[in-house]
Amino acid sequence: MPVLKKILVVLILLAFFPSSALCAEKIVDRANIKAALLVDMESGKVLYSYNERRVIQPASLTKILTLYLVNEEIRAGNIKDTDKVRISARAAQTNGSKIFYDEGDWAVFGDLVKFMAIFSANDASIAVAEHLAGTVEDFVARMNNKAKELGMKNSNFVNPHGLPDPRQKITANDIYLLSRSYLERFPDALKIHSLPSFQYNYVEYPNRNTLLQENSDVDGLKTGYVRAAGYHLVATAKRGEKRLLAIVLGAKNPQIRDEQTKALLEYGFKNEETRNPDPMVGA
């Protein structure tokens, strides 16, 4: 391509796309993730977006919605952290990340919430759903009603924990809408999400969000993984008065997921004037 033609192409690109958006292409390794989103939580400004409306299985990010409903019930006075919950056969037989409760065991509701938020326990999620709604199916109906209320137009849920199901789906944009509302309505939830570990019966259960140990700015929120989708992370971090929410979906491994999330957060903190590469995100 002749030099003058190359210059003309560059000028056209600069005319139609902000320079910050062009540079933003380099922030994440798009070959190794499926979607990403970075938002300034105070202003709602989208600092970076990539495939934010791509439909994907949510894995344990589902638990953010489950915890949203939990916090609503606690605030309404319908449940207390000290309430006792009986573990059903369905809860005890749930696979994946779990605490290995036996059928008929009794658990403290507040402990179940910590297991969900910190260790991503699937058996705890079932126990909580059954305790709040009577059946998992009725709780899932509540989940989908709440998702609709929050404007999560491309999401659907079929269980409260995120174990694989092709009918279960979210987008980065929908997870942003959920996470933003969750943090705004229940900011005290970060007291749990930010814990590096949780001790129960003399066993230390580590937080699945390893960025809590790697980055002092990070104080939440949730990880997720299913083979069909890859590795997810919703991370919120605060530096000074500025709070960001970074979402990385479908990374090829946990290391890539963490690296890309850290890159997004650092970009956001260092570039206060970044323009929105997609003004429709969050609409």
Catalytic residues: 60, 63, 120
Question: Are the C-beta atoms of 89 and 177 separated by less than 8 Å?
Answer: no
Buried b (16+ CB within 10 A) or exposed e, 198-223: beeeeeebebbbbbbeebebbbbbbb
Distance (Å, whole) CA 92 – CA 103: 5
Distance (Å, whole) CA 238 – CA 57: 28
CA 13 to chain CA centroid, Å, is 33
Task: Return the closest-CA partner of residue 93 out of 102, 85, 84, 81.
Answer: 102
Left, alpha or beta for 35 (phi > 0: left; psi -120 to 50: alpha)? beta
CA 79 to chain CA centroid, Å, is 24
Task: Return the closest-CA partner of residue 170 out of 129, 226, 97, 236.
Answer: 226
